[in-house]
C-alpha cells in the first residue's frame, strides 16, 4: 500500500511517499505563485522520480500553509499533527520539535507514542522565521543558503535589538553603513531569530531529545544559536525540510487502513 503526503509551504512544496510504513522517497520544489499547481507539480514529479503510477497511491493527505489548495487530497491535516507524526516516524525517541519554516515557527511536545501533548506557534510575525532570514540575506547581499556558514565565522556577533522584521532590517542596513563585518551581523541575526523561537520552546517546556525541522534546519548557524538559547543539542537530518510531508504520508496510510 502506497500513500502520499503533500506539504505546501509559503516558499517550498514537499511531497513524500510511504509504502507499508517504509519511506519510499521525497521531493522538494519551489512553491511559486500558484499553490494549486505547486501541489500537482510536486506530486507528479515525485511519482515520475519513483516510477509509481498515480493509480497505485491509495490515499493523499495535504498539510502546510497551502493545504487547502491541494484539491486531489483525501484529507487536509494541520502542520502540528503532521510534523509530530513525521518526527516520531523518523525517530521514535524524539519528544519535542522545533519547526522553523518560511512563514511561521512552531514548538511541539510529544509523548512516547508520538501524540502531540502541547504546542506553541508564531504565525503573526515574521521574526524567527525563514522569511526573516530571507529579508536579512537580501539586505546583506548574501545567498540564503550560505548564511549559516558565514555567521559561524563571527568572533563578535552584532546585537539586533528590534523584534519587528522591518525595523531589524533598518538596523542591519545601519550596521552595513558603519562597516560592521558581515559575519558579525549574520551571527547577530541568527541570535535574534533563535531567541524568538526559544520563547516558543520554553512555553511548551520542550526537553531533550528535540528535533529541528523545516527548511531553516539546514542553516547550521541558526541551529547552533538555537542550541545556545535552549541549552541542549538539536537533532537534525537530511529530511528535516520534508518532515511535514512524511508525517502527512504516514497519516494517509492510517487513513487508508481505516477506510
Which CA distances in Å does 176 have to 58, 162, 179? 54, 16, 5
Cα–Cα dist 46/41, whole Å:
8
pLDDT of res. 126: 67
**Is the separation of the CB atoms in 30 and 14 below 8 Å?**
no
pLDDT of res. 124: 62
Cell 538555537 belongs to 226
Residues 6+ apart with CB under 8 A from 131: 10, 11, 102, 103, 165
pLDDT of res. 89: 96
pLDDT of res. 123: 64
Q: What is the pLDDT along the chain (259 residues), one digit of tens a residue?
A: 999 999 998 889 999 999 998 999 999 999 888 889 999 999 999 999 999 999 999 999 999 989 999 999 999 999 999 999 999 999 999 999 999 877 788 999 999 999 999 999 886 666 677 788 888 888 888 988 889 899 999 999 999 887 777 778 888 888 988 989 999 999 999 998 898 889 889 999 998 899 999 888 989 999 999 999 999 999 998 899 999 999 999 999 998 665 5
Cα–Cα dist 193/158, whole Å:
13
pLDDT of res. 96: 95
Instruction: Tally Cβ neighbours within 10 Å of residue 228.
Output: 13
Cα–Cα dist 11/180, whole Å:
30
Q: Decide yes or no: CATH 1.10.540.10 for domain 2-124+196-258.
A: no
Closest C-alpha among 46, 26, 34 to residue 10: 34
pLDDT of res. 167: 77
How far out from the chain centre does Cα 234 lie?
Answer: 14
pLDDT of res. 165: 72
Strands (E), the chain: 2-8, 12-19, 22-30, 57-63, 75-76, 96-100, 105-110, 116-122, 210-213, 234-235
- For the entire predicted model, the pTM comes to 0.90
Q: At what angle do helices 182-203 and 220-230 cross, to 10 degrees?
A: 50
- The helix/strand/coil state of 100 is strand
Q: Is 144 left (phi over 0), alpha (psi -120 to 50) or beta?
A: alpha
Domain boundaries, the chain: 2-124+196-258
Which CA distances in Å does 147 have to 5, 98, 193, 223? 30, 19, 13, 12
Amino acid at each position: 500500500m502506497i500513500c502520499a503526503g503533500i506539504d505546501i509551504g509559503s516558499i517550498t512544496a514537499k511531497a513524500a511517499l510511504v509504502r507499508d510504513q517504509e519511506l519510499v522517497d521525497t521531493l522538494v520544489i519551489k512553491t511559486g505563485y500558484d499553490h494549486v499547481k505547486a501541489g500537482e507539480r510536486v506530486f507528479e514529479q515525485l511519482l515520475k522520480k519513483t516510477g509509481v503510477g498515480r493509480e497505485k497511491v491509495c490515499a493523499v493527505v495535504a498539510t502546510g500553509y497551502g493545504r487547502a489548495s491541494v484539491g486531489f487530497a483525501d484529507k487536509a491535516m494541520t502542520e502540528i499533527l503532521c510534523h509530530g507524526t513525521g518526527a516520531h516516524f523518523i525517530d521514535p525517541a524524539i519528544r519535542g520539535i522545533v519547526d522553523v519554516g518560511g512563514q511561521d515557527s512552531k514548538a511541539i511536545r510529544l509523548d512516547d507514542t508520538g501524540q502531540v501533548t502541547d504546542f506553541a506557534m508564531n504565525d503573526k510575525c515574521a521574526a524567527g522565521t525563514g522569511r526573516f532570514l530571507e529579508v536579512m540575506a537580501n539586505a546583506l547581499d548574501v545567498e540564503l543558503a550560505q548564511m549559516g556558514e558565514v555567521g559561524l565565522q563571527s568572533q563578535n556577533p552584532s546585537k539586533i535589538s528590534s523584534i519587528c522584521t522591518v525595523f531589524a532590517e533598518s538596523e542591519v542596513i545601519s550596521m552595513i553603513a558603519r562597516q560592521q563585518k558581515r559575519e558579525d551581523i549574520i551571527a547577530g541575526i541568527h541570535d535574534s531569530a533563535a531567541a524568538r523561537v526559544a520563547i516558543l520552546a520554553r512555553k511548551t517546556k520542550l526537553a531533550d531529545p528535540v528535533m529541528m525541522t523545516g527548511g531553516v534546519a539546514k542553516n547550521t548557524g541558526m541551529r547552533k544559536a538555537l542550541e545556545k538559547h535552549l541549552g541542549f543539542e538539536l537533532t537534525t537530518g537530511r529530511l528535516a525540510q520534508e518532515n511535514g510531508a512524511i508525517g502527512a504520508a504516514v497519516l494517509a496510510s492510517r487513513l487508508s487502513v481505516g477506510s
